[in-house]
Structures are given as structure tokens and as C-alpha cells.
Amino acid sequence: MISRFLFIFLFFCGIVSCLNNKTKDIEFNDSIANVKNAINSINPVEEIEFEINPIPGSAQDLHFIFTTKLINCHDLPSNNDSLRILGKRIALEIKQKVKDPGNYEKFDILFVTRIDNAFATKDSYVGYHYSSEEL
């Protein structure tokens, strides 16, 4: 009896948490393929992932962080300052192509190194945050 109640309670909590999800759909002024091609023209990359999340504590649907994960980039600069400048160029490209850029307070760029083996996938990254105003 208790296990049935616990199951129903957890199921209900899961449904409620899904309904309260504040994620935002990704919308660009162009096709996502063209956006990825523009990023690849700045610096070649094996895979690109986009993610939008609300800023914790902000009002719903008002303040978001747009995160771009650049997985296994080719020919990255080893100098931290040069990498930050490259990230800023990519963040600016994304800001110019995203619909309603005013909805995003920050654009994060993560340079991810992903290593796959038979048992696990290991990600390591360097990330930079760019406020919308500085772009």
C-alpha cells in the first residue's frame, strides 16, 4: 500500500515538474543548418549543440542564457585571450541569427573536448560568458 502511494506521489511530482519547465524553444532567423555552417566558417567543429535556460530567480519567460556547445573544435588557439576573442565572434554570430536577441541576457560559448571509448564518454570544456550588451 505504501509503495503504491509512493509511486503515485512520485509520478505526480514528475508530471508537475514537467509542466513547470521554463525552457524556451530555440528559434533562429535562418535554418539551423545555416547557423551551424556560419559557425563552422568561423572555426571548424565536429558537432554543435544549442541550449536555452532561464536565469535562476528571473521572472518566467523574461531572462535566458543561450548556451552553445562546440564539440571537438579544430585548430583552436592555445592562448586564453585568443580563445576568448574567438568565442566572442561566435557568440556575436549567434546573437545576430537568433530571433528576439533581447530575450537573452547572456550568450555562453563552451569549447568541449569529447572523448568516447567503449565504456564511457568524457567531456572537458573551457567556457566563456558574454553579456548581451558586450556583443
pTM of the model: 0.77
> Mean of the pLDDT values across residues 62-88?
92
Residue 109 reports pLDDT greater than 90: yes
Residue 119, all three cell numbers: 565504456
User: Given this model, what pLDDT does residue 25 score?
Assistant: 80
Mean pLDDT of all residues belonging to the chain? 83
User: Given this model, what pLDDT does residue 1 score?
Assistant: 52
Residue 12 reports pLDDT greater than 60: no
User: Given this model, what pLDDT does residue 54 score?
Assistant: 85
Q: How confident is the model at residue 21 (pLDDT cuts 50, 70, 90)?
A: very low
Asked whether 65 and 104 are in contact (CB, 8 A), the reply is yes
Residue 61 reports pLDDT greater than 70: no
> Mean of the pLDDT values across residues 48-61?
79
User: Given this model, what pLDDT does residue 9 score?
Assistant: 46
